[in-house]
Amino acid sequence: MRLIGSKALAGGNYLRAAGPNEVRCVVRESLGFYRSLVVGGIFEFAKPVDIRSISTYNYALRCCIDSHPRLSVVIADHDTDSPYFEFYPRIDLSQHVQFLDNETRKGETEAMAIQRNLPSILDEFLPTSIPSWKIVILPFSDKRCFIALSYSHALGDGLSGSAFHRTFLEALQEQRLESDLICTPTRKELSPPFDTPENLPISWAYLLSPFLGQYLPKWLSSLFGFSSEMNAVTDSTWTGTPIFYDPETLRTGVQLISINGDMVEDALKLCRMNDAKLTGLLHQLIIDALSEALPRPHKFDRLGGGTAINMRPTVEVSNDEMGVFASGDFQIYPLQEKSLGENGQFSWALAKEITDRLAIRSKEVKDQPLGLLRYLLSIRAWTLSKIGARREDSYAISNLMSFQPLGNVDNCAVSEMIFCRPTDVAGGAALSVNVISVRGGPMNITVNWQAGGLNLGAYEDEVVFVNTVCRHIEAGFARLCMTLDVSEKY
């Protein structure tokens, strides 16, 4: 039997077959179900530069291409179950740089301008005949701009975007101007896919659980621990509308909130004092927010929460390497009463419970859900079969943590970072929560969703709902940080 992603050698530029999770990423993009992943930052130059000239970024892009082999590959046979990577020996940088109109609307802040432009970046099809990435530049002045890396998820996960920007920022310190737009990268081998049987072994019990759970009587399935749904989503779990896709109307809604650096530091101190991590706290605040914001009356009593897990440390890969090294955890949580009681005391129980679970899951390699992909006969058919089915989660968090430069930032610095995922038609949660911060600076959170996918009426009603959720999260951080005694701040 032919393995998914297998391919006979396709000439001198063949690198390797895509791994199962890479195939999943390729398939959903080729179907239009997922478009462009975005990781961006606000760059501040020490001296004025020609913000709208490719020559300002030419050298930095060349450094990125040289450091990250994934930027010089194309995906061949992307519309099949057996895509593979090919080396692309001649890159025209003009095809990988886009400048946006820098006209801001009346009363519009930089954050508002970024939020307004994000949907069009996220929903754009990236070309497959050239490497599927580009930088998108939104100028603010001759010393300040927002630079987004827009790229195929098959080339890299969220942390790959951070790795790109670290290399990019380091190269910008040299302030070299280059006019030659043709880059001829050195061919380098790609690291092997991480979701191999050796890295992610699957037990027979875990493999058969979804199948037997679907066909055995419920009482017998429960007795033996078999479930037809790995994350046990039920009718009482809020997951928005069933999965749907209309290529003419697909639209990603985006809301952006920012938690200032002082508040982030206070939250981190409180997390350490209560044996929790920030991701666990974010889960708790989101569950609080959704529990309060869901329009009443409703039939829901639980939420499904997903978490992207960085598996690089477990498989001994550097965070500075681009690639697809993410797995996931899925859990069901009951709707919550407010975590902050009338006495002003914050209950850390759920945040600590989630933190403890994620700490264990991030080190486990056996029976990771991702490992099941290699047993599918056709990932493409499986992806298509999801149309009309229930969404997998109520919300899903991906936290890229704190962005930290590789070295000095005397000539150019990054003051803020923004991370955003596009609509994930076939495998996504109703709400996608994307988190990234900078050391000593703000933590930015984007909440995005498929327009029409929340089952709350018109798009305008969805915007109101997501705004309410965002305001609850902001207020949760503010109320929480008020519980920190002044003597504990320093």
Are 62 and 459 spatial neighbours (Cβ–Cβ below 8 Å)? no
Pick from 155, 114, 116: nearest CA to 134: 155
pLDDT at 216: 47
The secondary element (H helix, E strand) that includes residue 332 is strand 326-334
What mean pLDDT is predicted for residues 475-480? 92
What mean pLDDT is predicted for residues 417-433? 94
In angstroms, the CA 423 to CA 440 distance is: 31
Q: If you search the block for the tokens 């580009």, which residue do you land on?
A: 134
Is pLDDT of 472 > 50? yes
Tokens of 124: 């754009």
Least confident of 2-11, 54-63, 380-389, 451-460: 2-11
In angstroms, the CA 294 to CA 280 distance is: 21
pLDDT at 220: 45
Are 489 and 274 spatial neighbours (Cβ–Cβ below 8 Å)? no
In angstroms, the CA 284 to CA 286 distance is: 5
Are 473 and 289 spatial neighbours (Cβ–Cβ below 8 Å)? yes
Is pLDDT of 232 > 80? no
In angstroms, the CA 282 to CA 286 distance is: 6
pLDDT at 7: 47
Is pLDDT of 303 > 50? yes
First to last CA, the chain: 62
What letters, b where the CB count within 10 A reaches 16 and e where it falls short, cover 255-269?
A: bbbbbebebbebbbe
Tokens of 369: 């859900």
In angstroms, the CA 159 to CA 97 distance is: 21
Q: What is the pTM of this model?
A: 0.93
Is pLDDT of 234 > 90? no
Are 392 and 304 spatial neighbours (Cβ–Cβ below 8 Å)? yes
Q: What is the pLDDT of residues 159-211, one digit of tens each?
A: 999 999 999 999 999 988 888 999 999 999 999 999 999 999 988 877 877 66
Mean pLDDT, the chain, as a whole number? 90
pLDDT at 338: 66
Are 409 and 169 spatial neighbours (Cβ–Cβ below 8 Å)? yes
Q: Tell how strand 302-310 and strand 237-238 pair up.
A: parallel
Q: What is the pLDDT of residues 402-423, one digit of tens each?
A: 999 999 999 999 999 999 999 9
Which conformational region is residue 5 in: left (phi greater than 0), alpha (psi within -120 to 50 degrees), or beta? left
Cis peptide bond upstream of 297, omega within 30: yes
357: phi then psi, degrees, rounded to nearest 5? -65, -45
Tokens of 299: 């039939």
Question: What letter does residue 340 receive in the DSSP assignment?
Answer: B
Q: How many CB atoms lie within 10 A of CB 106?
A: 4
Q: How many CB atoms lie within 10 A of CB 242?
A: 13
Pick from 40, 234, 202: nearest CA to 121: 40
What mean pLDDT is predicted for residues 432-442? 96
Q: What is the pLDDT of residues 317-372, one digit of tens each?
A: 999 999 999 999 999 999 987 656 555 678 899 999 999 999 999 999 998 888 88
Q: What is the pLDDT of residues 2-49, one digit of tens each?
A: 344 444 445 689 999 999 999 999 999 999 999 999 999 999 999 999
